[in-house]
Amino acid sequence: MKKSNGKSETEVAGLDLEHELPPADGDESPSGVAGGASSEEASGLGELQKLKAERDSLLDRLARAQAEFENARRRASKEQQDFRDYAAADAVKPLLPVIDSFERALQAKSEPADFRSGVELIYKQLQDALAKLGVRAIPAKGEIFDPHVHEAIEMVETSDVPDHEVLDELQRGYKFKDRLLRPAMVKVAKNP
């Protein structure tokens, strides 16, 4: 016999099809009693409502977590930008007394020898401020040429010093901690 809605044709013929509710998935009432089916449907509808409420709750939690994550990402991005913008402030602050000393030196009316000694003191003050920041000069004159920290501007033929020794420093080079800021520009000896 042909099946229709989980029931045989003979069972379907005796039922009022307009008022019959479809059976729950996999849960057919064995006796076909309408009272048992409605209590199962009521419990199924209650369960469905619980699942919908739980789903809505989980979707709400997910939306809140996504919003919280986005806010945290924006805050972190702003903090990084602020750090980049104001990181130089710690580097500039130790240089301010050097500028003050230069201003006082330029305003003073003094002998050239006194002026020179004042500028030498300011130069030492500037070197100390840079050393506190981690900036140090690269030794060059009398050293063997190192292409990692020296930039050869000129090769001078001479037999007075060993080959590839730095003869003269044209511009001092500097390192910031272990990173090269600027190579030293040097003249290098070349034996004939």
Give the C-alpha separation, 97 to 104, whole Å: 11
User: Terminus-to-terminus CA distance in the chain, angstroms?
Assistant: 112
Residue 12 has pLDDT above 80, yes or no: no
CA angle (38 as vertex; 35, 40 as ends), nearest 5: 110
pLDDT tens for each residue of 113-156: 888 888 999 999 999 999 988 999 999 999 999 999 999 999 99
pLDDT at 34: 47
Percentage above 70 pLDDT, the chain: 80
Alpha helices in the chain (DSSP H): 9-13, 34-86, 88-92, 96-107, 112-133
With cut-offs at 50, 70 and 90, classify the pLDDT of residue 157: very high
Residue 150 and residue 168 in contact, taking contact as beta carbons nearer than 8 Å:
no
Q: Exposure pattern of 104-131 as b/e (b: 16+ CB <10 Å)?
A: eeeeeeeeeeeeeebeeebeebbeebbe
Residue 159 has pLDDT above 50, yes or no: yes
Mean pLDDT over 163-192 rounds to: 93
pLDDT at 21: 58
More confident residue, 7 or 137: 137
Mean pLDDT over 73-93 rounds to: 87
Task: Using CB atoms within 10 Å of the CB of residue 140, give its burial: 0 to 12 exposed, 13 to 18 middle, 19+ buried.
Answer: buried
Dihedral sign of CA atoms 123, 128, 131, 132 in order: negative
Mean pLDDT over 94-106 rounds to: 87
**How many residues in total does the chain contain?**
192
More confident residue, 59 or 102: 59
Give the C-alpha separation, 100 to 93, whole Å: 12
Q: What is the pTM of this model?
A: 0.54
